Structures are given as structure tokens and as C-alpha cells.
Structure 1
Amino acid sequence: MKKKIKVGFWEFIAGIVLRRRITILAIIAVFTIFLALQWKNIHFTYTEANLLPDDHEVNLEYNAFLKEFGEEGNLIVIGSKDEKLFTPKVFENWTKLMSDLNKQSEIDLIVSVDNIKRLQKNDSLQTFELVPFIDQKKSKDEKYLQAVKKELFTKTPFYDGLLYNKSGTIRSALYLDKKIVNTPQRKDFILNTFIPKIEAFKKENNIDLKVSGMPYIRTLNAKNILNEISLFIGAALFITSLIFYLFFRSHRATLISVLIVVIGVMWTFGFIGLFNYEITILTGLIPSLVIVIGIPNCIFLTNKYQQEYATHGNKARALQRVITKVGTATLLTNLTTAAGFGTFMITNSQLLKEFGLIASINIVALFFLCLILIPIYYSYQPVPKAKHLEHLNREYTQKFMNWISKNVRYNRTKVYIVAVSLFVISFIGALQIKTSGSLTEDMPKKAPFFKDIQFFEKEFNGVMPLEITIDTKRKKGVMKSSTLRKIDELEKTIIKIPELSKPISIVSLVKYSKQAFYNGNPEYYELPTAQEKSFVLSYAKNASKNTDKDIMKSYVSSDGQIARITTFMKDIDTGNMSKVEDELWKKINEIFPPDQYKVSLTGKALVFEKGTKYLLNNLVTSLLFAVLLISLLMIFMFRSFKMVVVSLIPNLLPLIITAGLMGYFGIPLKPSTILIFSIAFGLSVDDTIHFLAQYRQELTKHNWKIKKSVFATLKESGMSMFYTSVVLFSGFSIFMLSSFGGTVALGGLIAVTLLFGMLSNLMLLPCLVLTLNKRLANEQEFIQPKIDILEHEDSEENTSN
């Protein structure tokens, strides 16, 4: 009577996969088509990354500001230091350029030298009149233009810092329609209308114009990101498939691996469209990550298939064991990788939640693609040729593994000394890490638009808006003399801060009104006295009626209760930003008593800086959650606390080494680099799972003899661990092709972490296993897990043994 053989879970799955091949392929094809149809929902983000939760106090203040005054990031500036600008021909072309741009529906207002108004007193009507600063009929006379230029620089302090600076730089201020700032229309206008007109002017007049401002920066930055997504996908596919081919020397094996990751990339975009998420600088990296992470899965499964076939020469059994022997281990390695990304979902940042969710879903989906398609593909292919199996005994890999085994066998003390030394040195370096974060820090430094940012920083102290709102808590409270003087006092403090530009507020218009009242004498550009106020403001109240696009209307709320001060910041990091903020609040609290005024600091620059701090504060929580989650998976796998300790040490050491390198090389913690640790930990622990899973099986094979089992494990799994680590290292290195500093740091540091992780798992991990299990192991040290990590050998093989 035959003994009934119990069929394991993965044997059951293997049976379905190999018997229902056509049906499964049809299901995958239909699902792929379904996700491809979701691509129509994909669109690129048209706003800056908001790293804060929606209900965060800083976001609430910023949204309140937007509700009162509208989008504040709608300014584009065009500047030049070329003296030819005030020559008749060039000035005529400049006037035509500004006029053409002003006719565009996307432009709300242009303030430029050619169209500015002079505030002039009309005594007969007791009002101010806005008259053209430049007489266009006389603009063909160069002497007249030079006289106008001199007057602008010496007699119009109102425009100082807005249209000119003392060093001779002229600029124009273009205010986009606030309704299009965060829409595709902004991109179309900048790329298809604005830039061509600017380039044509530069070419015709041989003048170097500098352009900046948040709408312009964001548009070109987004264009660079989209271009790099294609670059990364292509580079990742090329380098990983090339390495795969060099390892296996098989076109067929390479073909199926490439096909799988291409499907994975299609699914990634499909899931983004299905969830109606935007393509951001983070979600844009996921397709490349899918390729980099998917190829190692293909390596493990292909390597296992070829190892099995080389052992017994039975193709059907080899295909079945690809699933049954490494199914659970590969699933758990993918789950730990997904967990590394999934930890970002516990943050309250929508940007990171979307990144973590899409990455996690696609990593798990990719595992099933690999596990299903590789056995099905090889079931239709001829058996491996001898040349395809040569890599199993390739000389250079054998030398490397022999070197690893030698150190584990004879030099364990040295391994521990090196590990402890690296830990101490790296820990000291990690204490030197600084935090950083600004809107422009990770932008491509070699791009022309970044050089223009630096130009405006030097000439006008930056283009990053910082907004201050002052709620007087009473209607028309802004125009009270006491309030105006307090605002003026705060502005004097702003001017003294080198990181900030000259502020713009209602105070500037009131000062200009007094100057106009005294016939344009610049010595009177100051706030009116109590006696002068009634006369000056009675003239000023009708001035704004002469234009429906008065820039100063944006600086007082409609009921006159809230005043707005706008200044612009240099590209400074979070540390300097905090100092600026502290200095401002010190003065604000001094001159605006909280019981009488409510003052808020906001603006994109501040929101981003606060978001950086928020992420840094959540870094430890996210990493600890990743460690906890992966530890629970280890306990679930091995049901042994000793194995949890053994598995964590080799994976935490590379993280400390990376942190140390960041400290020594001055690489700051910022939104792009804080992602490294959770991602790298989730990837690095994969090797640990493969090693310990194989180690458990070797223990049962070798009668629980630890030393023999450890070295058998190195021989069995070491090659695949080496191959996959090389692919991951090379794959993440492709991000160093980026022009964005943050992406370069992300790719380079993860690659370095994984390199140390490979060495740690191949050398330190087996040393720890040998040291912590000096006595002969017994089955009590490895309690039977809830699930089989590696399937037991089948009955036929057990019989032969």
C-alpha cells in the first residue's frame, strides 16, 4: 500500500502554475491591458512637494494666507546687467517684448521700466495721478534714455529692490494669473510662449537675460524630472540586463527577465493611474526601482532552476523546485523590501504615503510575476546547455566565495574587530551629520535656470517667497498710523537680514505717496507724520482708481484688517532658515503684542523648511517601525529570538556606516537622503533571509551540525547573494546619472549601503551564527516555524538519502 504524500502549499502552487500555463498567461495579459488603460489618468504634479500633513499648523496658516491673498508663487522676474538695454534699438525691442507678453491671457500684470507709472500730485484736483515714467516718443533718443535711467536709480526708492538695485541691474516683474499657477496651462505658457519669446529677444539683441521666479523654476525643474524618468528606466534596464547576461551568458534567460521587469514597469504606471496619483519626484523613481529590484528576483529563481537541473538533470522537477524550494523565502524577502518602502505610509505626509504604497504594491506584484512567469517560460524552452551552467563554477566567483569562507572559518576575531572598528568610526561620523533642506537645494546645479537663480540671489537676495501677515483684529486697522509704523519697523529689521530681500508692503505705497505729495523729492520717501497723513492719504486714495491692476492691492485685505509683507529669501538650509525665523519672531513679538495683533510667517520656502524638519523628526520612527516589522517577520519565520538578533546586527551596521560617511563627507540629512535608511534596510535584510532560510535547511541535512551547515549555506546561497547585490549596487548607481543632487545622493548612498550589506551578510552573519551557536545545535533552538521557509525534500530524494 502506497503511503499518501502530503502536498505542501508551494507544491500546490507549482502544480497550478505548470498545469494551467495558458490560463495564467491570459490572466496576466488581461490584467496588464487593464492597467495600461489607466495610464490616461497619469499626470505630473504642478505644485511643490508638500511634506507636511494637511492638518499641520504650518499648512493651515499657509492655506489661510492663500484664501485671503491667493497664490503667492506667481512672480516671474527677467533681469539684465547689460548697459545696452538703455540704447534706443534694444529698449524699443524690450518694450515690444513686454507688450507682447502683457497681451497673453496667462499674464495678469507686468511691472517693467518701460511701463511703470510716476505718482504725480495734481493740486487742482487734490489727488495723485499715475503718469508714464517714460515718454515713448522720446525713447529713441539715447540721451533721454540715459537721463531716465539716472532718474530711476536716484529718485524712485519705491522701485529699489523691485525693478533695480544699486549695482545697476534692471529687472521686470511678471505676475501670472493666479488661477493657472498650479495647472498644465502654466507649463504650456512657459515652455511654448514665454521661453521662445525670451530666446528670440536674446538672439536678436545679443543680450544675456536672466530669468527666474517660482513658476519658471518649477516648470523647468519638472521638465528635467520627466526627462530623467526615461533616462533612469533606460539606464536601469540596460545595466541590470547586461549584468544578468554576463552572469548567466544566456539570451533566453536575459529575455524573460527583461520582459518581466518591463511588465512590472507597465504595472507601476498603471497603479499610479488607477489610484489617480500624480507623478512626483518620488513616484517617478518607482519604475526604475522596479527594474533594479525585479532583476535580483529573476537571478535567484533562474539560478535555482539551473542549480537543480545541474544536480539531477530532470527539467520538470527543477521547474517545480524553483517554486517549492525558494517560494516562501523569496516571498518574505520581497515582503521585507516592501516593508522598507511601506514604512513611509505611517507618516502623515501624503507625498510619502503615495510613494510607499505604490512601491510596496509593485514590489509584491513583481514577486508573483517572477515566480509565475519564469517557470512557465522555461517549461517551453529547451533544457540549459553546459555553457549556461558554467557560471555556477566560474573561477572569479569561486575565488571570492573561497575568500569569504576562509575569513569565516579562520579569521572570525578579525572580522569582529573590523566590524566594531567600523561601527565606532561610523558612529562618530554620524554625530556630525547636519540637516538641510530648501526648495532649490536638490535642483540641477549645472542647469541654466539654476545659474539664473544664483544671479538673482546675488543681485536681489533670492526669489523664494517668504510671507508675513499681520492681522490687526479690526477693520481698516492696517491704515492706522501706529500699525504702519510698526510694519515699517519690522521691514527695517528684514532689510538688515542678509538672507532676505527688500520687502514689499502697503508701507511702500504710503511712503511713495508722501514723496509724490512733496513733488517727487526722494528725501520725503518716508511715512507721513500724523499732521501730514490726512493730506497725503486724501490724495492717495484715488490713485489706485487709475488702474485695475494695481500691484499694491494684493498687500491689504479687502476689509483693511490684514496687512501682507512679502520678502524673498536666498537658497538657505534649514539651520540658517531657523536663525532667520528666530530673528524675525524676536522683532515681531517685540513690536506686535499678541493680544492686539495676530502675526503669521508663511510662504513656500517656510513650508518646505518645516516639512524637512517634520520628515527628519519622523525618520527615527519610520526606521524603528521598519526594524520592528522585519523583526516580527523573522520571528514568524524562525520563532527564535536568537535568530532575530543574529539577523539585525549585520543589517544595522551598514546603516551606521552610511550615516558615518554622510557625516564625514558633509552630506546633510534632507528630504531626499532621509529615505535611504528604510529602503536600504529593507533591501539588505533580503540576503539575511536567504542565508538563514538556506541555513535552516542545511541543518536538517547535516544532522544539526552548525559549522558544516554554515559553509554549505555559503556554497549554496552565497553566489546568488553576490549576484543580486552586484545588480542592486549597479542598479542604484544609475541614479547618480541624475542632475538632481538629492537623487544622486539617494542612489549613491543606497548603493554603498547595499555593498556593505552584502559583505556583512556574507561574512559577519555566518560568523555570528557560528559564535552564538557554539554548542551542537538541536531542534529546540529552531522551533518549527508557522510556515516552511524552504520546502522539505520530496519523498524520492529522502529515500535516496
Structure 2
Amino acid sequence: MLVLYLPMKKLLSIGFWELIARIILRNRILIISIVTLITILLASQWKNIIFTQTEANLIPADDKVNVDYNNFLDKFGEEGNLIVIATKDPKLFTPKVFKAWSEMMSTISKHKEVDLVISVDNLKVLTKNDSLEKFALKNLVDKSKVEKQNYLNQIKSELLNNLPFYEGLLFNKKTGSIRSAIYLDKKIVNTKARKEYVLNSLIPEIEKFENETKIDLRASGMPYIRTLNAKTIIDEIGLFIGAALLITGLIFFIFFRSFRATLISLIIVIIGVMWSFGLLGLLGYEVTVLTALVPTLVIVIGIPNCIFLINKYHQEFAKHANKAKALQRVITKTGTATFMTNLTTAFGFATFIGTNNDLLIEFGIVSSIAIMCIYLLCVFIIPIFFSFISSPLNRHLLHLNRDYLNSFMKWIVNTVKYKKVEVYSVAVVLLIVGLIGIHKIKISGSILEDMPKKTSFFNDILFFEKEFNGVLPLEIMIDTKRKKGVMKLSTLKRMDELEETITDIPELSKPLSVVSLIKYSKQAYYNNNPEFFELPTAQEQSFILSYAKNATQNSKENLMKSYVDSTGQYARITTFIKDENGKNMEAIEEQIRAKANKLFPSPRYEVIITGKPSVFQKGTKYLLDNLVSSLILAFLLTGGLVAIMFRSFKMVIVSIVPNLLPLIMTAGLMGFLNIPLKPSTILVFGIAFGLSVDDTLRFLAQYRLELSRNEWKIKKSVFATFDDAGISMFYTSIVLFFGFSVFMLSSFGGTVALGGLVALTLFFGMLSNLVLLPSLVLSLNRTLANEQEFIKPTIDILEPTDEEVDAIEKKD
């Protein structure tokens, strides 16, 4: 820090910004050309933009949770390759509808992206072939007879009553729901090909069936959910950008009543949006539910920069009516202040880089770079634009003295001046209420929690949760530590006992594994009598297991390959879990783990419990564990900047407290309103703190300037600060409030919560910085006004006086 001291102080001096102002105003065409060139170059990177094809992985790659999950994928491939299509309509087993169903499934099975389709119309049943001593797969349905209603009734009865192996996979015996299982090629599950198949092939086939039969189908499964979820993210990017431009532009115009000022501000943020997309393409980052927010953040953060600079330009012009002088002094006087406030905002977003999570690291990098880019665009383009157009008219300056602003600021000043005790009392009460609310906060580790709940595919998820106990796979992998160890009868019995525990857990579906296949083998051996759907005895195992081992090896028909690896050493048990906010996931895993440890003791066996829901839930917990450290990092970074600027530890405390209280209030409100802590809402605190602290720095910088102007009279300086800093704080806070409220238009619950909570926190932050901060300054005025500690800062962030600027100009 000491090494950077002199260069930083020199770079942020009045003389430096005077030089920058001259360079900008004397090289206008060159700068416009450079901005245009950069915009074209970054626009050329749009072709490299990648839209995410997977869920967010919130855990570091080297964490044991990810290591276990990847070990499972190495043995059995991508587990999220199942799409299910279902209906509860009894008309399915009528000739016309069944024919349409069969045609749909036949068409789907022919697509190159599909590995296997298991459906009633093409269902295979095991039959015993005594001469070859093996089981053969025979079609359940004779397609030459499906035109007869009696035959279809017979098939339905056979399916529901005599094929327990398929219960939970293809039908719900209690409700009569029927579904088909479509297994995609595992190689395309995490690629663009999956998206194209679902949107361009699968969904049209489903819609065609529905139009022909007037029967509503339900579709789900991880590939289907991922695709439509990603499509919604993409669709909402345009919605956010359009709404943000409209709302912030409207607020800007209401403040300034100037079409040209509004126009240039919108042009600047649109260029910033183009740059942010270009950054995503240039860095090769995927567009995720987080990085999709960056273009809108550029608008929301860029407009306040425009407000601050244009407001200062109008203030300067109102003093002396000299346009050139006003434009130069906008840069000279506000250069350090705007740089440092944007830097603190960028630091707030950059704290996500320290989470050791790729999703948040990418969001932190792109957002922090984009914030500094929009700052530079504002500093360069606004003076150049106003240098080319005519001077402001009187009506353009009316916003400097509006009645509603004067009334608001008068109320703030009176509150600080006469009601400090009440201010502290309210702050303490809000602090206590917030802390109480924090204890009520719940944690959500749900993959589905943030998905758009108003969409049809989310309703389909609820259907499958009710009828088939969910669509989210929970995987259990058992390593027997020896080849062909899975097919030992002792291992199968242990697995069967573990599956009984899984079946007894209400949130889990009936498990699928090689155990069910062996049970089905015994049933087939005894002429498909469902009473024999059980594991073979010691006496039966030799010939029944030999029949099973000799089953066809055709990759399309071999059911065993999905649940036992090629060496026979690893077994897989798959169950599906109801989402239920992920609140019971940890308890469920502990229950399964306790039973597994008893049945498969270490080191003889190794049992891994994994799957997308499990990884996501653990990722949420990991993120929460890092929340405090990320916030502490944000506090330290901000405190460090304040310490560098003011050389005062007391100033650090004064700057942190007014911004910490709104965070506690918001967290408490989340507890009272039952808004859970989840990946999206965790981001609220870092983002809001980074933005809110800007007002603090702006107020303190102006306060120190007023001290020098008012002969170190504390009260007079504090209240004089409101005349300048108070208005800009109000303007920018209002824009940020409504700007982040745009995210509440989203159909994603997490994005709605993020936008609403950040907007609310910033509103609390504005009031805290306008009321609590000056109250603290007044209460601690004796020590804060110490010349040695406060008046001679390391970095001069405050706006220089006219006399100081005049001296620099004359010197140059």
C-alpha cells in the first residue's frame, strides 16, 4: 500500500484531472473514434457468447462433493438424461389415442439424439427361454390388435397388476397415471444439441399429439427443465434491458426535463450494454442466470453516473454561464469522487471473485469490469456531447431548485438537527428487529426454488412430484471393491435392504437398480407371476442369475447396463426426490447414510450419495458459509479505501455503520417474510453494500469540503453538505431503487427476490446515509474534525474549490 501511495495521490490530484479534462475536450473526434472502434470490436465478440446448458455448480471443483459426483459420472455417465412424458387421462387406452401415442413415441425414438424410449406401446417383458437358458425380451403389445378396445383394456390391466418392475417408472398404480421414459444420448445432454432437440423436435411432437387427441400431456425431466429454464433466461434479458431503459430514462427525464440530456444518457448505457455482451464473448463466459443480469446492471448503475455528471455541469453553468469552463470543471471537480465511488461499487461486485466458485467468479469479473467501463464512457462522452450542442437553457436548470426536493431535504435537515435521539432510538429498534428476523431465516437448497413458477413446465414439475415423487434424481453408487461383486447374492440382499429404507422415506420415489431387475428375472422365471417379484433364494440363485447374466447384450435392450458398470464392481441405485425447497435433503441423506454404513461397512465397501439435487443443496450451504467472509472482505475493501482517503479509523467506523444497518434490516425482513437464503438472495448483501457505500463517501467528501469553507464549524458544515450531496444522493438512490425493481418483472423467483431486496436495501441505505450518517458525524464531531486526522487525507476525493481549480489553471 505504501508503494502505491505517491502514484495514487498524484493520479487523483486536481492537476491530473485538469489534464484529463483538456485531453478529452481537445481530442473529441479521436475519443469518439476510439469508443466507436472498441464498440465494433466488442460487438464482433457477440458471436462467441455461450448460453449455459447446465445448472449452477456452486462448489469448487476440488471439493469432495464434486469429486464424488464426477466419479459417479465416470462410471455411469450423465445421470440427468431422462425426459418423461405423462398423462392421467384414461382415454389413453382407447384405439385412436393409443395409436397417436404409439406414433409419437415411434417418431421420438427415431431421432438421433435419443438413446432409448421405454413406453407402454413398445414395452418389453422378460420371458424365459428354457432351451437357451436365458431370458428374452418380448413385446407387451401386439400392434395388430390395438384397434380393439378389449385388447387395450387387457394391456392396461396387465401393466398395472402384473409388472411391478415398471411401477414408479412407467405408471402410478394408485392414480392410473401413465408415462414414457425417454433417455437422451448422454453425449448431448450438456450441449446445444439438447436444446435444439427439445425445442425443435420433442415439443412439436408433443403439441401435435395434443392437437390430434385433445389430451394434455405433461413433460419433465432434467434435460427438459434445463432447456426451458435457459430459454426463459434468454427471453428475459431483452425484457430487463428494455424495462431498465424505459424506467431509468423516464426518471431521468422527470428530473432534468431535457430530451437531449436523456438521449445522451441512454446512448451511453446502450453502448455499455453492448460492451458487456462483448466482454462475455471475449472472456468466453457462459450466459447464466447471474451474468444475464450484467447488461441491466450497466444501465441501472450508468444512469446515476450520468445524473451526477450532468447535474454538476448544470450547477457549474448556472454559476458563470461559461459552457467550456463548466465542462472542464465537471471533470476537474468530480474526477476523483466519481472514480472512487465507481471503484467501491466495482469492489462490491468483485468480492464474489473470492468465493472460489466459477459461477460467482465470472459474475464478479464481468460486472466489476463493466462498471468501470460504463464509468469511463460517462466521463468521456458526456463532456464531448455537451461541447457540441448549445448551452443549457433556463428550463434545463430548473431541476436545481425544485420544491419537492427542497421540502424533502428540509425534513431531513430538521430530523438530523432536532431529533438525533429519536434517530438513534429508531436505529436501535430496527437493529433489534432485524436481528430477531435473522434468526427466522430459512435456507433453501432447491434447484427448483428459483425457477419460473408461472410457466407450464413448472406446473408439469409439480404434477410429477405428486404422481411420481419428483423428477430430480438422487444417486447412490456402491463400490464393492471387487469385480463382479455386485451380482453376489449377499450384495443384492444388502442393496435390497437399503432400498427398503429408501422406499420408507416419503420424499423419495421407488428406487431403481439391478435389484429390481433380478427380482423381475425371478418373476419371469416363474412364468411372470407377480407373487415371485423378489430376490432369489440361495438355492435359486445359480440358475436364475445365470439366466439374467445370459440376457441379450443389445445396447438398446440391455436394462442391466444402466445400473451395473462393465466390470460388475459398481452398482447404482437411482431414486427421485420431491423438491420441497431442499429443506429435508440433509436429513434424508443422513438417514440413507446411516443405513448404508451399517450394510456396507468401510473399508470393505464405499458408498457415495450424489446427484444434482444433492450437489446443489451442498453448494447452497457452501455459499452460505462463504457469505460472511465475502461481506467481511467487502467491508475491509471499503474500509481500506476510506482509510486511504481520510487517514482516519473513526471515519471507517462512521462509513460502515450506516451501511451495515440496512443489510441487517433486509436480512431481518427476509426472515419475517419467509424469504429463504439461497444463491440469488445471498448476492443481495454484497451488491447493495457496494452501491450504498457510494452515498456515504459522497456525503463525507462533501462534508470535509464544507468544513474548509465554513471555518471548521461542524454543524454549519453538516447542514451545508445537504445542499449539494443530499440532492445527488436522492437522485441516484431513486434511480437505483426503480432500476433494480425492474428485476421484479422476472418469472424467476430468485431474480424477483434479488431485485426487490436490493431495491429495498438501497432505499434503507439512502435514508440511513441521509439521517443516521450525519447524526453520527454530529455526535462524533470533536474527533472527526481533527485537522491532523481528517482534514489532510491521503487521497483527495472531495470536490475542489473554485479557488483551487483557478490556481491550477493559472499555473498551467
Q: Return the alpha-carbon distance in structure 2 between the equivalents of residues 433 and 791 of structure 1.
A: 43
1:547-696 equivalences in 2 (<5 Å): 548-696=556-704
Q: Return the alpha-carbon distance in structure 1 between the equivalents of residues 40 and 683 of structure 2.
A: 32
SS at match of 2:442: coil
The aligned residue for residue 7 of structure 2 is none
1:101-140 equivalences in 2 (<5 Å): 101-140=108-147
Q: Hey, which bits of structure 1, 4+ residues long, moved more than 6 A?
A: 796-799
Q: Return the alpha-carbon distance in structure 2 between the equivalents of residues 769 and 318 of structure 1.
A: 32
The reply on whether 1:751 has 2:754 as its aligned counterpart is no
Give TM-score scaled by structure 2 length.
0.96
Q: Return the alpha-carbon distance in structure 2 between the equivalents of residues 164 and 309 of structure 1.
A: 76
SS at match of 2:572: strand
Structure 1 residue 240 displacement after superposition: 0.3
Amino acid at match of 2:790: F
Indicate if the aligned counterparts of 1:704 and 1:778 stay in contact, CA closer than 8 A.
no
The reply on whether 1:496 has 2:493 as its aligned counterpart is no
Amino acid at match of 2:112: S
Distance 1:229 1:615, change over 3 A: same
Distance 1:309 1:143, change over 3 A: same
Indicate if the aligned counterparts of 1:476 and 1:560 stay in contact, CA closer than 8 A.
yes
Q: Return the alpha-carbon distance in structure 1 between the equivalents of residues 14 and 67 of structure 2.
A: 58
User: Mean alpha-carbon deviation: is it higher for 31-40 or for 571-580?
Assistant: 571-580
The reply on whether 1:723 has 2:731 as its aligned counterpart is yes
Q: Return the alpha-carbon distance in structure 2 between the equivalents of residues 405 and 794 of structure 1.
A: 26
SS at match of 1:543: coil
The aligned residue for residue 46 of structure 1 is 53
User: Mean alpha-carbon deviation: is it higher for 74-83 or for 122-131?
Assistant: 122-131
Q: Return the alpha-carbon distance in structure 2 between the equivalents of residues 787 and 171 of structure 1.
A: 68
Structure 1 residue 554 displacement after superposition: 1.2
Amino acid at match of 1:101: I
Q: Which one of the candidate residues 76, 90, 93 is aligned to 2:97? A: 90
The aligned residue for residue 522 of structure 2 is 514
Distance 1:539 1:795, change over 3 A: closer
Q: Return the alpha-carbon distance in structure 1 between the equivalents of residues 415 and 698 of structure 2.
A: 20
Q: Which one of the candidate residues 533, 545, 551 is aligned to 2:541? A: 533
Q: Return the alpha-carbon distance in structure 1 between the equivalents of residues 671 and 689 of structure 2.
A: 19
Q: Which one of the candidate residues 79, 85, 89 is aligned to 1:78? A: 85
User: Mean alpha-carbon deviation: is it higher for 514-523 or for 778-787?
Assistant: 778-787
The reply on whether 1:194 has 2:196 as its aligned counterpart is no
Provide, for residues 72-108 of structure 1, a one-character-per-residue CA deviation record: whole Å limited to 9, x for no partner.
1000001111110001111111111111111110110
The aligned residue for residue 280 of structure 2 is 272
1:47-446 equivalences in 2 (<5 Å): 47-166=54-173, 167-446=175-454
Amino acid at match of 2:442: K
The reply on whether 1:486 has 2:494 as its aligned counterpart is yes
Q: Return the alpha-carbon distance in structure 2 between the equivalents of residues 249 and 34 of structure 1.
A: 35
Amino acid at match of 1:40: K
The reply on whether 1:779 has 2:787 as its aligned counterpart is yes
Amino acid at match of 1:22: I
Indicate if the aligned counterparts of 2:651 and 2:784 stay in contact, CA closer than 8 A.
no
Structure 1 residue 575 displacement after superposition: 3.0
Amino acid at match of 1:666: N
Q: Return the alpha-carbon distance in structure 1 between the equivalents of residues 95 and 804 of structure 2.
A: 96
Q: Return the alpha-carbon distance in structure 2 between the equivalents of residues 519 and 549 of structure 1.
A: 20
SS at match of 1:92: helix
Q: Return the alpha-carbon distance in structure 1 between the equivalents of residues 633 and 454 of structure 2.
A: 38
Indicate if the aligned counterparts of 2:646 and 2:789 stay in contact, CA closer than 8 A.
no
Structure 1 residue 541 displacement after superposition: 2.1
The aligned residue for residue 3 of structure 1 is none
Provide, for residues 400-448 of structure 1, a one-character-per-residue CA deviation record: whole Å limited to 9, x for no partner.
0111011111111111111111111111111111111211111111110
Q: Return the alpha-carbon distance in structure 2 between the equivalents of residues 600 and 775 of structure 1.
A: 60
Q: Return the alpha-carbon distance in structure 1 between the equivalents of residues 583 and 225 of structure 2.
A: 23
Q: Return the alpha-carbon distance in structure 2 between the equivalents of residues 524 and 133 of structure 1.
A: 19
Structure 1 residue 178 displacement after superposition: 0.6
Distance 1:701 1:348, change over 3 A: same
Give TM-score scaled by structure 1 length.
0.98
Structure 1 residue 787 displacement after superposition: 2.2
User: What stretches of structure 2 of length at least 5 have no aligned partner?
Assistant: 1-12, 808-812
Amino acid at match of 2:493: R
User: What stretches of structure 1 of length at least 5 have no aligned partner?
Assistant: 1-5
Identity of matched residues, %: 65
The aligned residue for residue 452 of structure 1 is 460
Provide, for residues 343-366 of structure 1, a one-character-per-residue CA deviation record: whole Å limited to 9, x for no partner.
000111000000000000010111
Indicate if the aligned counterparts of 1:466 and 1:569 stay in contact, CA closer than 8 A.
yes
Indicate if the aligned counterparts of 1:640 and 1:783 stay in contact, CA closer than 8 A.
no
Provide, for residues 426-484 of structure 1, a one-character-per-residue CA deviation record: whole Å limited to 9, x for no partner.
11111111111211111111110001000000011000011100000000000001100
Structure 1 residue 551 displacement after superposition: 3.1
SS at match of 1:477: coil
Amino acid at match of 1:370: C
The alignment yields a C-alpha RMSD, in angstroms, of 1.3
The aligned residue for residue 467 of structure 1 is 475
Q: Return the alpha-carbon distance in structure 2 between the equivalents of residues 141 and 795 of structure 1.
A: 99
Q: Return the alpha-carbon distance in structure 1 between the equivalents of residues 500 and 45 of structure 2.
A: 54
The aligned residue for residue 709 of structure 1 is 717
Q: Return the alpha-carbon distance in structure 2 between the equivalents of residues 478 and 730 of structure 1.
A: 60
Indicate if the aligned counterparts of 2:116 and 2:556 stay in contact, CA closer than 8 A.
no
Provide, for residues 358-394 of structure 1, a one-character-per-residue CA deviation record: whole Å limited to 9, x for no partner.
0000101111111111111111121111111111111
SS at match of 1:568: strand
Distance 1:617 1:136, change over 3 A: same
Q: Which one of the candidate residues 10, 13, 34 is aligned to 1:27? A: 34
Q: Return the alpha-carbon distance in structure 2 between the equivalents of residues 797 and 212 of structure 1.
A: 66
Indicate if the aligned counterparts of 2:336 and 2:796 stay in contact, CA closer than 8 A.
yes
Indicate if the aligned counterparts of 1:236 and 1:288 stay in contact, CA closer than 8 A.
yes
Equivalent residue pairs, number: 794
Amino acid at match of 1:148: I
Q: Return the alpha-carbon distance in structure 2 between the equivalents of residues 10 and 746 of structure 1.
A: 37
User: Mean alpha-carbon deviation: is it higher for 567-576 or for 273-282?
Assistant: 567-576
Indicate if the aligned counterparts of 1:638 and 1:785 stay in contact, CA closer than 8 A.
yes
SS at match of 2:353: helix
Amino acid at match of 2:309: L
Structure 1 residue 21 displacement after superposition: 1.2
Amino acid at match of 1:274: L
